[in-house]
Amino acid sequence: MTQNFTGSFTQQDPIPEAGIEAAIAVLRHGRLHRYNTAEGEISETALLEQEYAAYVGAKYCLAVASGGYAMATALRALGVGHGDKVLSNAFTLAPVPGAIAAVGAKPIFVGVTEQLTIDLDDLEAKIDQADVLLLSHMRGHICDMERLMAICDGAGVKVVEDCAHTMGSAWKDVASGRSGHIGCYSCQTYKHVNSGEGGFLVTDDPVLAAKSVMMSGSYMLFERHLAAPDPSVFAQIKYETPNISGRMDNLRAAILRPQIADIATQCARWNDRYYALEAGLRDTPGMQVIERPEVETIVGSSIQFLLLDWSDDSIRDVVSRCGARGVELKWFGAPEPVAFTSKYDSWTYADPQPMPKSDRILHGIVDMRVPLTFSIEDCDLIAQIIRAEVSAVFQAQG
């Protein structure tokens, strides 16, 4: 009898009870806006920023409306504007080039390796084309950050890290988002903490932090932040920096604070599931599992594999056959973008140039979300289904 999987790939863990209680308290007093506080009260958002800064070891943290807003704010704080060029990954999701477009700049795409990280040789070849790199740790894969920073520092290129998929991850024990000048994180439902939407921006640079706070819409209330620079840093910045409102509210902050406190436990749970899936997929004929370096601390909230040099029809067949058995796979090589699987040549507003070497890799990327609502037994079954269907199609190809 053929087994099918009947679980959901979009069902999240419930919000922790402590977060629900805190959210209800905010709803009852009605002070949702981060600067609307009673006498002697510290807002949930200010406390969240302080706690997240401590978690990643940053001097400053700003909670914002989304990870995409955090990236655009980071670029603006660094002075990126209309007509400028920004280096970024060819393998990423639409909000990354979208953040570049939001400030009127143009992305210069850098290739992807078979480890699904930015191609550092290609970065080195293109490093003189821009002053900023918006680095996407796409699907949680972290490149050799020491080499990357050496390349960028040597060329005077500032680094913004998109850590939407790497909250809780690290490279050689340095938290993701803490190697570059600014780290940006997402709290969207399918990320490592869940407030529906939301994000963080962290930095050790007081000027970048002050500019970001002002842009978020602080209305000269920056002294109410616990994880912002000294008020003296704002002396001139407050008159020169436009308000591009993107604050986080106290309701989302209340939901997030218990999740930040428990993130290490959640990351360990994801990794248990990831490694169960990886073990079940290893040595599947025609499939290439992504090897993770020992110095990379991962958070396995999704898993990818490569079907290199397979035809379009064969990959579609794998996706279809797995889908018929309840396993939802996403293919990044489809000619037309579907849901979350667009790629650099889908974003025609960016005027992308052909990248044949990367196209070969992107064509073979198959991706799967790993919700914490899956059990280890679920992961074992899912791996069996993928293995069986990939093997069947591979054998049929001859």
- SS3 of residue 180 by DSSP: coil
- Return the higher-pLDDT residue of 115 and 333: 115
Q: What kind of fold does domain 263-397 have according to CATH?
A: Aspartate Aminotransferase, domain 1 (3.90.1150)
pTM of the model: 0.96
Determine the pLDDT at residue 1: 52
Give the pLDDT mean for 31-60.
Answer: 98
Give the pLDDT mean for 54-73.
Answer: 98
Q: Are strands 302-306 and 296-297 parallel, antiparallel or unpaired?
A: unpaired
Give the pLDDT mean for 315-325.
Answer: 97
- Return the higher-pLDDT residue of 343 and 375: 375
**CA separation, residue 388 to residues 86, 94, 281, 319, 367 (Å):** 42, 32, 10, 12, 17
Q: Which residues contact 313 (CB under 8 A, 6 or more apart)?
A: none
- Bridge partners of 200, per DSSP, are 63, 185
| Statement: residue 398 has pLDDT above 80 | no
- Nearest Cα residue to 135 out of 154, 156, 119: 119
| DSSP string for 42-53 | --HHHHHHHHHH
Cα–Cα distance for residue pair 315/309, rounded to 1 Å: 10
Cα–Cα distance for residue pair 161/181, rounded to 1 Å: 8
- Sorted by where each begins, the domain ranges of the chain are 17-261, 263-397
* pLDDT confidence bin for 304, thresholds 50/70/90: very high
- Bridge partners of 368, per DSSP, are 303
| Statement: residue 339 has pLDDT above 90 | no
Task: Give the burial string for 52-90 (b: 16+ CB within 10 Å, else e).
Answer: bbebbebebbbbbbbbbbbbbbbbbbbebeeebbbbbbb
| Statement: residue 44 has pLDDT above 70 | yes
Determine the pLDDT at residue 273: 98
Determine the pLDDT at residue 245: 97
Helices (H), 284-375: 312-324, 356-363
- Nearest Cα residue to 360 out of 289, 309, 290, 287: 309
Determine the pLDDT at residue 336: 83
* pLDDT confidence bin for 91, thresholds 50/70/90: very high
No. of helices (H) and no. of strands (E), the chain: 13, 14
| Statement: residue 28 has pLDDT above 80 | yes
Give the pLDDT mean for 241-265.
Answer: 97
Chain centroid offset of residue 309 CA: 27
Kindly state the percentage of the chain with pLDDT values over 90.
94
- SS3 of residue 123 by DSSP: helix
- Return the higher-pLDDT residue of 30 and 350: 30
Determine the pLDDT at residue 391: 97
| Statement: residue 340 has pLDDT above 90 | no
Determine the pLDDT at residue 163: 98
- For the stretch 133-170, pLDDT in tens is 999 999 999 999 999 999 999 999 999 999 999 999 99
**Fold match between domain 17-261 and domain 263-397:** no
* pLDDT confidence bin for 59, thresholds 50/70/90: very high
Q: What kind of fold does domain 17-261 have according to CATH?
A: Aspartate Aminotransferase; domain 2 (3.40.640)
